[in-house]
Amino acid sequence: MRIALCDDEPDVTEQLKKLIGVYAFDRNYEMVCDCYTDGRALLQTDKYDLYILDFRMEPMDGIETGKALMEKFCHAVTVCYLTNYDAAAAEIINRGVHADGFLKKPVDAAALEQTLDKFYRLSFFNRFELRQGKRFQTVYAQDVLYVEANDKQVLLHTFNGVQSYNYLLREIEKILPGGLFYRIQRSYLINMQYVDSYDAKSVTLKNGETLPLKAKDFQKAYHHFMFLLNR
């Protein structure tokens, strides 16, 4: 699990990194933390599994950074805010930004553990393993925009680039989380949460890519997916 810590006070992020290191060691979890002091620098990086952002940092505050991350990664980000400001939740809602959690400064180890437990469990049910040579690689479903057949391989188009694996598309279809991915054509499986628009011949994803549509029951499947998502 990759975690980005961003606060304009380096001492805060270093302390958080130590606490997360202890948490991961005690549970034998694989967690990697990177520290940033400026939201603008964080926006230049690849996607992380969890972002912990300071609410009041400068020059770009946590809300602005969180909003920019959501725009960059089609809302597929998990963000927790660091704050000692009691009205932070109300301000975040008023400014139209989603928050997955809050941690109060100074961060208490027990509160941090509860927060990490929640996010780690969520990531566990949203991931799968793919073989790459003699090794297995963990892939997070929310990072995958779509899967493309490429001869005897598949190409996973993710927010961090394109990765190839030695699988047939029908084999990958059995591994992917049920209900989240849908085959729109013989060569493509799309992540339904990233559908922006569609017509009778194509599907446009939220990153702007347009793919051919052949499945006649796509509209029904997409409406069912949205119903389950919003209930």
pLDDT of residue 124: 64
* Distances in whole angstroms, Cα of residue 121 to Cα of each of 116, 118, 126, 195, 211: 8, 5, 9, 26, 33
Q: For residue 170, what are the β-bridge partners?
A: none
Q: What is the mean pLDDT of residues 149-166?
A: 94
- How confident is the model at residue 98, as a pLDDT? 76
What pLDDT is recorded for position 149?
A: 97
What average pLDDT does the chain have? Answer: 90
CATH number of 130-230: 2.40.50.1020
- Mean pLDDT for the stretch of residues 136-164: 92
Counting beta carbons within 10 angstroms of the beta carbon of residue 116, is it exposed (0 to 12), middle (13 to 18) or buried (19 or more)?
buried
Average pLDDT over residues 143-147: 94
Write down the pLDDT at residue 80: 93
Strands 188-191 and 181-185: what pairing? Answer: antiparallel
CB distance 49 to 55 below 8 Å: no
- Between 1 and 148, whose confidence is greater? 148
Domain ranges of the chain: 2-124, 130-230
pLDDT tens per residue across span 62-108: 999 999 999 999 888 899 999 876 667 677 666 777 788 889 888 99
The pLDDT confidence band at residue 188, using thresholds 50, 70 and 90, is very high
Task: Assess whether pLDDT exceeds 70 at residue 125.
Answer: no
CB atoms within 10 A of CB 132: 13
Pairing of strands 2-6, 50-54: parallel
Q: Take residue 114 and report the two structure tokens written for it.
A: 């509860």
DSSP 143: G
Digit-coded pLDDT (tens) for 19-53: 999 999 999 988 999 999 999 999 999 999 999 99
CATH number of 2-124: 3.40.50.2300
Per-residue confidence band for 213, with pLDDT thresholds at 50, 70 and 90: very high
Pairing of strands 144-150, 153-158: antiparallel
